[in-house]
């Protein structure tokens, strides 16, 4: 009987130690290294393979991760299709052949018979392709898909009016049509007449000292890698400020 009790106690001790070891293993934080950066993440090992939340990986890679619980759809937008850049105060003159980088701030002057004002403009984000169409279709169900061979580009712009020489009490009309998309080879793309822009859109009346940030939209050929965006250029296509799209 005494020997039986000793065997029972030994088995119980083994089960206790095994349980403690398994618990400690499950609670262990794995090391995750992304592009040379080490971080801790909630990684689980299932059947010998590591699993980590999409949101954690997206944050580390600079990608945007969205999940629609209704449709059970996860959308990951990488740097290649959605480009966001930190703002920099680069007020140097840009041109079609030397466009400014995304995130830079460009000074501009509009001087015509009807409009005379100065300001600053920046393009802070570019979204292209499927993610752009998803945002446009969600903005209004009547928006049409891009025509064959084309895809949408969305650009988030910020326009600040510094002075209005016409009148300090007059507002400047800022709208989607102030922005033009020009192909890599140097041809204007058509202006989108009938489209409801995602919110916030750029259309607004802006007084001196104020600014407006919002989306502008274009259709671009799928095989056009590097179109450029112009703002406040002259009727003949010269002047204005120019931005890269990637």
Q: What is the pLDDT along the chain (246 residues), one digit of tens a residue?
A: 444 444 444 434 433 333 333 444 444 556 666 655 566 667 777 766 777 776 666 666 666 676 666 555 676 665 445 555 554 555 457 899 999 999 999 999 998 888 899 999 999 999 999 999 999 999 999 999 999 999 999 999 999 999 998 887 899 999 998 999 999 999 999 988 889 999 999 999 999 999 999 999 999 999 999 999 999 998 888 889 999 999
Are 93 and 193 in the same domain?
yes
Dihedral angle, C-alpha 221, 222, 227, 233, nearest 10 °? 30
In this structure, are 127 and 213 located in the same domain? yes
112: domain CATH number is: 2.60.40.1240
Q: Are residues 145 and 212 in the same domain?
A: yes
Q: Write down the pLDDT at residue 11.
A: 39
Global pTM exceeds 0.85: no
**Are 10 and 115 in a shared domain?**
no
Quote the CA–CA distance of 198 and 66 in Å, as a whole number: 17
Q: How much is the pLDDT for 39?
A: 63
Answer yes or no: do 126 and 210 share one domain: yes
Looking at the fold, whether 72 and 95 belong to one and the same domain comes out as no
Where is the domain boundary, 36, 60, 77? 77
Among the candidates 43, 77, 111, a domain finishes at: 77
Helix (H) / strand (E) containing 160:
strand 150-164
Q: Are residues 21 and 37 in the same domain?
A: yes
Among 27, 49, 77, the domain-final residue is 77
Query: At a CB cut-off of 8 Å and minimum separation 6, what does 229 contact?
Result: 99, 123, 155, 179, 180, 181, 182, 216, 218, 242, 243, 245
Q: Are both 8 and 73 inside the same structural domain?
A: yes
pLDDT of res. 52: 72
Q: 43: number of CA atoms within 13 Å, CB side?
A: 16
Q: How far apart are CA 2 and CA 65, in angstroms?
A: 63
Do residue 22 and residue 101 come from a single domain? no
Instruction: Count structural domains, the chain.
Output: 2
Residue 46 sits in which domain range? 2-77
Q: Do 221 and 108 share a structural domain?
A: yes
Residue 237 and residue 186 in one domain = yes
Residues 29, 133 within the same domain = no
What confidence score (pLDDT) does residue 129 get? 96
For 229, list phi and psi in degrees, rounded to 5: -110, 130
């Amino acid at each position: 009987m005494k020997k039986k009790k000793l065997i029972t106690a030994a088995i119980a001790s083994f089960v206790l130690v095994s349980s403690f070891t398994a618990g400690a293993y499950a609670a262990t934080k794995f090391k995750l290294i992304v592009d040379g950066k080490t971080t801790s993440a909630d990684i689980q090992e299932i059947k010998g393979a590591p699993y980590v939340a999409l949101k954690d990986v997206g944050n580390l890679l600079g990608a945007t991760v969205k999940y629609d619980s209704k449709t059970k759809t996860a959308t990951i937008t990488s740097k290649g299709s959605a480009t966001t850049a930190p703002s920099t105060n680069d007020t140097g003159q840009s041109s079609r052949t030397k466009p400014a980088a995304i995130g830079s701030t460009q000074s501009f002057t509009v001087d015509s018979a009807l409009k005379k004002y100065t300001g600053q403009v920046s393009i802070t984000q570019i979204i292209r392709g499927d993610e752009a169409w998803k945002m446009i279709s969600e903005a209004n169900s009547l928006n049409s898909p891009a025509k064959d061979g084309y895809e949408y580009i969305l650009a988030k712009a910020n326009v600040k009016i510094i002075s209005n020489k016409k009148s300090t009490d007059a507002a400047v009309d800022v709208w989607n049509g102030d922005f033009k998309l020009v192909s890599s080879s140097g041809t204007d793309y058509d202006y989108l007449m009938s489209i409801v822009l995602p919110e916030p859109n750029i259309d607004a009346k802006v007084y001196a000292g104020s600014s407006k940030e919002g989306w502008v939209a274009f259709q671009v050929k799928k095989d056009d890698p590097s179109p450029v965006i112009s703002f406040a250029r002259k009727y003949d296509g010269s002047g204005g400020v120019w931005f890269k799209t990637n």
